Structure formats: structure tokens, C-alpha cells
Amino acid sequence: MDELEIDREALLATFLAEADETFAHMEQQLLALERTPEDDELLNALFRDVHTLKGAASLVSFDGARDVAHDLEDVLERLRQRTLAVTDTLVTLLLQSVDVLRRAVAEAAAGGDAASEAVLAFRARLAEAARAAVAERAAPAGAGEAPDAHEPHAPHASAARTLRVDVGKLDRMLNLSGEIAIARGRLGEMLERRGGVSPEDALDAHREADRLYLDLQELIMKARMVPIGPTFHQHVRTLRDLAASLGKQARLVMEGEDVEVDTAVIEHIRDPLLHMVRNALDHGIERPEERRAAGKPPVGTLTLRAFHDAGSMVVQVLDDGRGLDVRRIAQQAVARGLASDPARVGPEDAAGLIFEPGLSTADAVTELSGRGVGMDVVRRNIEALRGSVSVESEPGRGTAITLRVPLTLAIIQGFKVGVGGETYILPLDAVSECLELPPEETRDGAPWGVINVRGKPLPYLRLRDHFKVGGAAPQRENVVVVQHGAQVAGVAVDVLHGESSTVIKPLGGLVGAVAGVSGSSILGNGRVALILDVAGILRETLRRAAAQAAA
């Protein structure tokens, strides 16, 4: 690869990252313009975005995107000159033009050297609609073509994962790196000299280097933190288009937009948020006539809320719709063999059943729902983050779904345990307490069992059997009591090593599919320790306990 190819790759990566930001900004501006069509500054900002995008697309030879942007400029110029009126129909078309631009950029980034037929067809449609827009000045809201709400946005081009960092933070990182280099040099000199250096002086030098390293680590962690607001804003468009396609009216309220979280967490909660917003609008919020009959305002409210709580970030999706249909969920659960008697399925049971794969209360499969996939994706994605999800619902008042995820995926406080010669790590925030396994249970040596803890049964899983670790169990075993949401179970281990900061490493292909494992870490002795998936282990333990109880 020569230097010119490397430069073009860097140029493309920058263009793709900036194009994504421009598209999101254009959508926000268009939605604001729909609410305040007389705002000239909004129109000017939109024009600047499109013009900048056109120039950048031309620079990287993305001719299809450049031509669409040029057509869009023509329409926006007429709007700026007030020879066209801002109507709902025209705003819908302009929003669709953002989708087309995304698609054109993605196609070009994938190697396409000519505009697709779809892009060419849209250019003709855009010009035709612009000419007809004057006649639609007085058209009622929503009278135009229904927005293509179900069609997902064009797939993201292969944009590099990037993060904008304040230059001041980078300067502080550089300064700390320099101080660490000085501290390491001082320590190295002491070790080389040996004689004349007291152990106390060497230890002080080591502590100073360690302090600087921890400062740098904290600074890097803070640099990865980004506000969740832009992620929330993406759903303004989703809500608008879905509501129009379903014949409903809804508004989006956002709270806690400034709450910061690790950029990797943002990437992982994007899909769950989309599924929850779609579900809330499809299943929760009623049509205007139904809401009026129930004494509610015709416009439903969907709230996205974020806040920090006890070292975690909490994201809530709240709607003021009809709430969970417990009776319908119970019927579907019985039909799928998830429950034996619909009369015994209560509201709490229903709140858990909606996450079961394949369970849906929709009467028919549509592009929006009916396959029972969305909430399963929500639970799996959140648990993959070592997070939890809970649901509260009140008939006629609405539903609140709460996600609790860690602030960062890079480092956790872990609790190390040992089985045989292996070390495993449990997330410390999932550990409730540690107990000695009763001697009769140790002698029994069963893969799992139930013990009495202060008058309550506690099912436990023996980690030695779960991971098929060789060797004999010690005479004394311990139980680490772990909790995930409202579920509690025990993990029987040989040794308790205690807590420590754990740097998470991605799983390799060989252990990526092992049940009960969510990651790995390198120990101080160079060996690998597996980080346990508490939610998965809890489910397995409680499943075995339920099977025994039913036998």
C-alpha cells in the first residue's frame, strides 16, 4: 500500500465519520423546521450542512451523494427564498433525502462507482415534489405519502470507530506520559545501582510511578465518556415516522441528555433503545380516538431518561400508553409452553415473559412487530454489558422499562475466586456476600443444590462441575452469593481471593460461546482469568432448581 492509498483511507474515514454527524444534525434541523417553519436560521443551517456535505462528497469522488446533495440544495434554496412553503409532506421528503444520502454514501464506500437506480429515481422524485410543493401549501398534515417508517436506514458504511477528544485532555495525557517516563527512569536507575538505595526509597519511587499511572488511566477513562444526548436525539425521527405510519400521535421528551457514559456502552445500547421505542409506539401508545375515550390527551408521550446511580448509568424508556396486556401475554406464554395456567401469570410474570424469544402479543407479523424478537434483543444486549433490565407497568397508565448498565466496559471492580488451579472473576457489584458451604453439601459433591440461608432456600451451582475443572474438591468450600435484578443464587468455589480492579479483555473464538463467561482478564502472574456472566449463571442455577421442584 503506497502513501497515496493510506492518505485516501484516512480521508475516507474522516469523511464517513463527519457525514454521519451531518446526517444526524440535518434530521434534527428538519424536525425543528417542521415545528417552526418560519425560522430562517434553521433553513440557513440546513443549507450549510448540505453544501458542506456536497463539497466533501466531491472531494472523495462520491458523485452519487454529491448529486443528491446538489438537488437538495436547489429545494432548500427555494425554501430560503420563500418560493416554496414548508409543509409536512415536504419535510417528510427532505427527511427521506437524508436516508437516500446515507445510502448513496454507503454504496460509494462499499466500492460502487455509479449511483444506484434507487438513488436516481429519488432524484427525479425530489425534483418533481419540489415543483409540486407550491400546490401543497395548504395540504393538511400527513396528507402526503406515508413515510417509509419501517425501512431501516441505509447500513452504516465501514466507518472507523472514532471519538472526538478535547485537545486539553490530550495535552494532560501527554504530560502524564512524560511524568511516567521520568518516574520509570528514576526507578530503573535505582534498580541498576542496587547499592546505596534503601528498599523504602525504591518503594516510594514505585508508588509515585503507580500514582501517575492511575492518574493517566482515569484521564483516559474520562476521555472515553460521551453524553448520551445525541443517541436520544436519533429517536426523534424514529418516533415521528412510526407515529405517522401507525396513525398515532406522539411526542418525545428527553431528560438527562448531558449524562456521560463510555462510548462503547453507547454503541451497545443503541439497538435496544430502538427496539424499545418501536415497541412503545406499536404496543403501548394508543390511537388518538382511543386515548380521548380513556380521558387522555390525544398525543402520547414517550420519555427517554438517563441518570447516574451508584456507579451505573440508568436509562429509562417510559410511555403513557395502555400498559402491558397481561391476559394476552399469559395466553401466548401458555401457547408457547412457557406457562401452564394463564390464570397464574401475574403482572410481574408478564413483565419477565415479554423478553422470551418468540413471544409476541401482536395479532399478525408485520414489518414492525409480531416475531417476538425485539425485547429478546434488548435483554441479550444489556446482559452482554453486564447490565440488567426491568419492567414496571400499570394498566391504562403506561410502561416503564429501566436499563442499568456499567459506566465503562474497560475496567470493573472484580471479585476473584479459585477452583482447582483456575481463577475466575465475578463483577463485584453482583456479589452480595460469601458463606461457607455446609459440610454435608461438600461431602455430597453434587453439581448443584439448595442450601438454607437464614431460613430461605438458596440454589447454588458448583463452578467446578460447570466448567469441568479437574481435581478433587477441598474439604472446605465457599459459596459466593450473587444477585442480578431480583434473582439471587450461589456459586460454590474452592477459594476466595478477594477484590481487585480488572481490565477486561475480549474473548477469543474458542471460549466466546462458553455459557457463563462474559470476558477475560490477564492476572498479575500472566495467566488468563475468565470473567463470569452472572446473569447466565443465575439463569442456569434457577432453571435447575425449578426443574427439581417440578419433578
494-548 pLDDT, tens digit each: 999 998 877 777 665 555 556 678 778 888 777 888 888 887 788 778 877 777 7
pLDDT for residue 386 is more than 90? no
Residue 329 contacts residue 361 (beta carbons within 8 Å) = yes
Distances (CA, A) of 459 to 105, 226, 488, 518, 544: 54, 40, 8, 21, 9
User: Is 160 a domain residue?
Assistant: no
Mean pLDDT of 88-109: 87
343 and 238 together in one domain: yes
Mean pLDDT of 124-130: 74
pLDDT for residue 130 is more than 70? no
Tell me which residue range forms the domain holding 20. Answer: 3-136
pLDDT for residue 158 is more than 60? no
* pLDDT attached to residue 261: 85
pLDDT for residue 1 is more than 70? no
User: Is 155 a domain residue?
Assistant: no
468 and 434 together in one domain: yes
Least confident of 93-102, 108-117, 225-234, 435-444: 108-117
Model confidence at 252, pLDDT cuts 50, 70, 90, reads very high
Provide the percentage of residues in the chain whose pLDDT is more than 90. 18
382 and 425 together in one domain: no
Model confidence at 319, pLDDT cuts 50, 70, 90, reads very high
342 and 454 together in one domain: no
d(CA 172, CA 174): 5
398 and 261 together in one domain: yes
101 and 128 together in one domain: yes
300 Cα distance to chain centroid: 25
454 and 421 together in one domain: yes
* pLDDT attached to residue 149: 40
* pLDDT attached to residue 303: 96
Mean pLDDT of 194-219: 84
> Which DSSP symbol is given to 354?
T
Q: Is the pTM of this model over 0.85?
A: no
108 and 187 together in one domain: no
User: Is 161 a domain residue?
Assistant: no
Domain harbouring 440, CATH code: 2.30.30.40
Burial of 298 (0-12, 13-18, 19+ CB in 10 A): middle
pLDDT for residue 344 is more than 50? yes
pLDDT for residue 142 is more than 50? no
pLDDT for residue 66 is more than 60? yes
Q: Which of 355, 425, 430 is nearest to 386 (CA)?
A: 430
* pLDDT attached to residue 146: 38
* pLDDT attached to residue 289: 94
User: Is 146 a domain residue?
Assistant: no
Provide the percentage of residues in the chain whose pLDDT is more than 70. 86
* pLDDT attached to residue 143: 38
Query: How many other CB atoms sit within 10 Å of the CB of residue 225?
Result: 16
Query: How many other CB atoms sit within 10 Å of the CB of residue 325?
Result: 15
401 and 437 together in one domain: no
183 and 248 together in one domain: no
Domain harbouring 113, CATH code: 1.20.120.160
* pLDDT attached to residue 372: 62
Domain harbouring 392, CATH code: 3.30.565.10
> Which DSSP symbol is given to 281?
I
Q: Which of 454, 546, 536, 532 is nearest to 493 (CA)?
A: 532
Model confidence at 368, pLDDT cuts 50, 70, 90, reads low
